[in-house]
Homo-oligomer: A and B are copies of this chain.
């Protein structure tokens, strides 16, 4: 990555690029142009952003491809009436840099960032597709669960007090403390709105009864409150912040985590719960995609079987990192490995993370069915009755994850109790 590309071009105020203006922008940076090869009139530009917030351009030249991601100053899904700060592009880039440090195999290569333009140029992942779409299609990815478990362990351990001196971690917390507009979206859409009659809420026809039930369920609301307290207060690690299956790109052998623009310091279980909750949603949706009854049950079972692999890879990798803590950090501190009781201490910490994971997984599932932003896993089920049936099962299980956490002391017990 050249220094030239990384500098902030102060004289260049923000303007949203278009497929027509992208080549001019890239030509100004020779190290980017050389990756594409040829001259700018030989470059093909496609805008492919199908998310809710940003512009994404894929640029193809004779020698290679680039991905250009630019934030818009409003929520793309809604329009200019819902403004959103461009600074999120900066937080996304800063997070990708940190993830590159701790888990380089699992993030796209970074080539260029322009803070004024809220723009990052990175590796074009090809022939990768979005994991969510692959799971809907019924494709199996043999290593994705292991890769995700490693990504989680390395990024969460690496940015926590277990790896960083307290002062350095506090600097990180302060650095990301301004990403509040993105955190506010999570606060509202995940923790509050599904639990009262918010105007943003929507749900599939046929779920009126359970939607109302959830809003009147005092125990469920208390559990939601407890998880929101943790989200707001427990600054354990730098989180991706939006780690669903739409934030993961895959081939059969490669896995990359993208889009950390919701990054903040929060509880580790929020990221782990997000990905596990989304695997559960994918599994609950399978029956709705079956051409005939039961035809997708094998694929649903495969999806569920990935959840223990994610969790166990996470715990094994996290434990190994902890046990390898160097003497500089562990010379007498209470987190020192290989002293009396330290194995039990690691187990206790992992159990606390597991408990959080269950709660956040449940909340992530509920918000995707009763809140504003839904998932393609269910939305692409055209038969409304079939969709509502899948969603109802998912909701019921999610509520149990929040309320009966003692019934799921281990990932094995979780999988044994799911009936999709």
Instruction: Flag if A192 contacts B334 (CB, 8 Å).
Output: yes
With A221-B341, A236-B233 as known contacts, state yes or no: A187 contacts B166, CB within 8 Å. yes
Which residues from B are CB-within-8-Å of A344?
218, 222
Assembly stoichiometry (copies): 2
CB-based contact A334/B221 at 8 Å: yes
Q: Shortest Cβ distance from A249 into chain B, in angstroms?
A: 30
Q: How near does chain B come to A144, taking the closest CB pair, in angstroms? A: 30
B174 touches A349 (CB 8 A): no
Is B334 within 8 A of A228, CB to CB?
yes
- Chain B residues whose CB sits within 8 angstroms of the CB of A205 once the complex forms: none
- Indicate whether A184 reaches chain B with its CB closer than 8 angstroms: yes
Give residues 161-205 of A contacting B (CB, 8 Å): 161, 166-167, 169-171, 173-174, 177-178, 180-181, 183-184, 187, 191-193, 195-198
Known: A161-B232, A344-B218. A224 touches B334 (CB 8 A): yes
Verify A166–B193 contact, CB threshold 8 A.
Answer: no
Interface status of A229 (Cβ within 8 A of chain B): yes
- Chain B residue with minimal CB distance to A180? B167
Residues of B within 8 A of A192 (CB): 332-334
Complex CA–CA separation, A229 to B173 (angstroms)? 15
Q: Which residues of B contact A174 (CB under 8 A)?
A: 173-174, 177-178
Contact A196 B332 (CB under 8 A): yes
Cα–Cα distance between A197 and B334 once the two chains are bound (Å): 12
Interface of A (DSSP majority class)? helix
Does A340 sit at the interface, judged by CB under 8 A?
yes
Closest beta carbon of chain B to A355's beta carbon, Å = 13
How many angstroms from the CA of A334 to the CA of B214 in the assembled complex? 13
Choose one: B166, B222, B345; the contact of A221 (CB below 8 Å): B345
For the complex, give the distance between the alpha carbons of A177 and B197 in Å.
37
Complex contact A334–B161 (CB within 8 A): no
Alpha-carbon distance A236/B234, docked complex (angstroms): 8
Residues of B within 8 A of A181 (CB): 167
Within 8 Å CB of A184, what residues of B? 166-167
Does B166 lie within 8 Å of A177, measured CB to CB? no
Q: A169-B232, A192-B334, A233-B234 are in contact. List 17 more A-B contacts (CB 8 A).
A: A166-B183, A166-B187, A167-B181, A170-B180, A174-B177, A174-B178, A191-B334, A192-B333, A193-B332, A195-B334, A198-B332, A218-B340, A219-B341, A221-B345, A222-B341, A226-B345, A226-B348
